């Protein structure tokens, strides 16, 4: 069994979609509950939104448990642009696994995300000059990989090309600009390494281990009959700009009320009123969207409160209406919702596009969840299909 530890749910979903593409039996869950009879077990954590100490402790615990279960190999899925507590989590994995070094390859060339000469670019633009500079929790103000990772005491970090001499310990960050670079890095991997990085590197590792894409795996889409709820929790323009299109297509949009957005804490009364608007909308519409649609918030505490607000209204809506299709963007928002509604195990059933994956919720066979990272686009003809 292959195991993946992801630092947010959309990263977990993306690798779940790759597993489907390769014909693997995949399960995504929010904790290591019992040893599962699957080919690919993906643990979706929320460590990117936790403190560094909490994140390291959680990753240490999961790594230790997976190692004790005797999985074939463990992959650490990191954010491709290195948001979160990447270095602290990798150091925790070294301690838990008793290995000496990590090979981290964060580049995603298929999405124009590359690392060369120690610098991160997206479509030939310096990382810190992209929309990631406005991330509410991790605004990226540099494009130097070593600065993005930061420092952990007594941990050596080197950014290297695939033909460089490898150090005996520490964190090796592999530069990559295309698939050939990724495949060359897979040849440097052996049992002394923890491997970590992007979805593209995970795909390269699968190919290097002899897995082949299953051309018979369907990626078509057939929505369930009934009500559909869309949740836009991301602040990326690619998500915010979709609101006008949704309205033009007859989707009712319930924006987060200004008093909820500005409140210093989550008010039961305010959230109840907002929930009621959404519930009543389903009496007239089969498609309803909820969105923040306010100024970008750069305070992590406020961002967490807003996610909890959304999760609360989604929970009540699901309880009181016949919703059986849920679409969510933004990994932290997904995790907040899943924690609130207690959906712990999900089975991927379709990879609708790279990073856009549809799940069946275990124990709720008529309920589907489709998610994507905030910086990715929804396939337009699918997410609002009739």
Do 185 and 243 lie in a common domain?
A: no
CATH number of the domain enclosing 363: 3.40.980.20
Phi-psi region of 333 (alpha: psi -120 to 50; beta: other; left: phi over 0): alpha
CATH number of the domain enclosing 30: 3.40.50.10840
Calculate Rg over the CA atoms of the chain: 20
Do 354 and 257 lie in a common domain?
A: yes
Where are the extended beta strands (E) located within the chain? 2-6, 26-29, 40-44, 73-77, 101-105, 113-116, 119-122, 125-126, 157-160, 170-174, 193-197, 227-232, 252-255, 287-291, 323-329, 345-353, 356-361, 368-372
Do 176 and 246 lie in a common domain?
A: no
Per-residue pLDDT tens digits for 56-114: 999 999 999 998 887 889 999 999 999 999 999 999 999 999 898 999 999 999 999 99
Tell me the two tokens of residue 93. 């994995």
Per-residue pLDDT tens digits for 226-240: 799 999 876 665 455
Do 202 and 231 lie in a common domain?
A: no
Do 247 and 374 lie in a common domain?
A: yes
Contact indicator for 246, 230 with CB cutoff of 8 Å: yes
Do 179 and 243 lie in a common domain?
A: no
Per the domain annotation, does 90 fall within a domain?
Answer: yes
Contact indicator for 45, 59 with CB cutoff of 8 Å: yes
Q: Measure the CA–CA gap between 367 and 35, rounded to whole angstroms.
A: 25
3 burial level (CB within 10 Å; 0-12, 13-18, 19+): buried
Per the domain annotation, does 244 fall within a domain?
Answer: yes
Of the residues 179, 208, 237, which one is the last residue of a structural domain?
208
For 245-283, give one letter per residue: b (16+ CB within 10 A) or e.
ebeeeebbbbbbeeebbeeeeeeeebbeebbebbbebbe
Of the residues 208, 235, 250, which one is the last residue of a structural domain?
208
Do 204 and 123 lie in a common domain?
A: yes
Per the domain annotation, does 94 fall within a domain?
Answer: yes
Do 73 and 172 lie in a common domain?
A: yes
Instruction: Report the pLDDT value the prediction gives residue 194, as an integer from 0 to 100.
Output: 95
Per the domain annotation, does 315 fall within a domain?
Answer: yes
Per the domain annotation, does 49 fall within a domain?
Answer: yes
Of the residues 175, 208, 241, which one is the last residue of a structural domain?
208
End-to-end Cα, the chain, rounded Å: 38
Do 244 and 154 lie in a common domain?
A: no
Q: How many domains does the chain have?
A: 2
285 burial level (CB within 10 Å; 0-12, 13-18, 19+): middle
Phi-psi region of 154 (alpha: psi -120 to 50; beta: other; left: phi over 0): left
Give every residue of the chain whose pLDDT is below 50, as ranges.
238, 385-386
Range of the domain at 92: 2-208
Do 53 and 166 lie in a common domain?
A: yes
Per the domain annotation, does 87 fall within a domain?
Answer: yes
Do 231 and 96 lie in a common domain?
A: no
Contact indicator for 42, 50 with CB cutoff of 8 Å: no
Per the domain annotation, does 221 fall within a domain?
Answer: no
Do 33 and 181 lie in a common domain?
A: yes
């Amino acid at each position: 069994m292959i195991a993946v530890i992801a630092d947010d749910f959309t990263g977990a979903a993306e690798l779940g979609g790759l597993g489907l593409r390769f014909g693997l039996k995949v399960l995504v869950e929010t904790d290591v509950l019992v040893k599962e009879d699957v080919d690919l077990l993906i643990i979706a954590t929320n460590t990117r939104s936790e403190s560094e100490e909490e994140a390291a402790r959680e990753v240490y615990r999961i790594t230790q448990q997976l190692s004790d279960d005797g999985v074939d190999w463990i992959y650490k899925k990191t954010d491709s642009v290195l948001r979160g507590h990447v270095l602290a989590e990798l150091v925790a994995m070294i301690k838990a696994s008793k290995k000496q070094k990590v090979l981290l390859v964060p580049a995603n060339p298929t999405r124009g995300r590359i690392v060369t000469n120690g610098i991160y670019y997206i479509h030939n633009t310096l990382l810190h000059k992209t929309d990631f500079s406005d991330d509410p929790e991790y605004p990226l103000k540099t494009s130097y990989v070593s600065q993005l990772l930061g420092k952990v005491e007594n941990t050596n970090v080197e950014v290297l090309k695939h033909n460089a001499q490898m150090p005996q310990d520490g964190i090796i960050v592999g530069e990559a600009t295309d698939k050939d670079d990724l495949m060359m890095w897979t040849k440097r991997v052996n049992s002394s390494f923890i491997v970590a990085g992007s979805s593209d590197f995970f795909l390269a590792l699968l190919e290097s281990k002899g897995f082949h894409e299953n051309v018979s795996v369907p990626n078509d889409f057939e929505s369930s009959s009934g009500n559909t709820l869309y949740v836009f929790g991301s602040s990326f323009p690619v998500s915010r700009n979709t609101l006008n299109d949704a309205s033009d297509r007859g989707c009712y949009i319930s924006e987060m009320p200004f008093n909820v957005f500005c409140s210093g804490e989550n008010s039961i009364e305010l959230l109840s009123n907002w929930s009621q608007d959404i519930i009543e909308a389903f009496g007239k519409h089969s498609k309803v969207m909820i969105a923040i649609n306010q100024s970008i918030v750069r305070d992590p505490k406020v961002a967490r409160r807003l996610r909890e607000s959304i999760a609360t209204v989604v929970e009540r809506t699901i309880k009181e209406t016949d919703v059986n299709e849920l679409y969510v963007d933004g990994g932290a928002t997904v995790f907040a919702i899943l924690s609130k509604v207690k959906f712990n195990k999900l089975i991927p059933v379709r990879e609708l596009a790279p990073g856009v994956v549809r799940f069946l919720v275990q124990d709720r066979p008529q309920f589907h969840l489709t998610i994507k990272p905030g910086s990715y686009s929804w396939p337009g003809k699918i997410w609002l299909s009739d």
